[in-house]
Amino acid sequence: MRRQDIHDAKAELRATAKLRRRVAHRDAPQAGQLLAARLAAEAPPPAGAVISGYWPMADELDVMPALRHFAGDGHRLCLPVTPKRGLPLTFRAWAPGDAMARGVWDIPVPREDAPVLEPDYLLVPLLAFDKAGNRLGYGGGFYDRTLALLRSRKSVVAVGVAFAALEVPVVPHEDTDEALDWIVTERAAIRISGC
């Protein structure tokens, strides 16, 4: 597929995925709890790993129960701070209950005085995924750039988290897309082969 065709296909899938996610969010109010239990049982972070989550927006799957669980296990947590377009995300330390600032897109982010951390295990938000570990996000390319940078430095685990209903046969993808190592939904944990 040509680059422009891939972009068009992604844009189209983004629109339908948002609708599908709305329904999934409404139909699975316990998804965040189920996700926390599944992550801990089937795809647990290595001991001592710094874990990045995200502040759930719109109909995103609620990772807060999982983050509270990992904090209880002694992991350090961080949340992404969105930079200018074209740059990788940065991450700042965060703990449940911390006072927040407002970032890009009005997403709550840790305050400026929170130290910058580099995650080892990332819970990655997404709009659609396939079994090969391809992921569709909001189109900023932020997680692709971030994972490329982190993977060039060390070994990291990228866990896409999503409602099971967001699986599609194939997510259109290009060279710069960074595949996930795991996809964990409220129903299953999928280890991506070849990673």
Nearer to ligand FFO, 104 or 170 (CB): 104
Smallest distance, ligand FFO to C-beta of residue 47, A: 26
Q: How far apart are CA 92 and CA 111, in angstroms?
A: 8
Choose among 192, 191, 189, 190: nearest CA to 38. Answer: 189
- Classified as helix, coil or strand, 117 is strand
Is 160 annotated for ligand binding? no
- Give the pairing of strands 189-191 and 77-81: unpaired
Nearest-CB residue to ligand ATP?
137
Q: How far is the CB of 149 from ligand ATP (least distance, A)?
A: 8
Q: Does 133 bind ligand FFO (CB under 6 A)?
A: no
- Per-residue b or e along 35-73, where b marks 16 or more CB atoms closer than 10 Å to that residue's CB: bbebbeeebebeeebbbbbbbbeebbbbbebbbbbbbee
Q: Given candidates 91, 121, 129, 143, which one binds ligand FFO under the rule CB under 6 A? A: 143
Least gap, CB of 33 to ligand FFO (angstroms): 18
Which chain residues interact with ligand FFO by CB under 6 A? 54-57, 60, 80, 82, 89, 104-105, 107, 125, 137-138, 140, 142-143
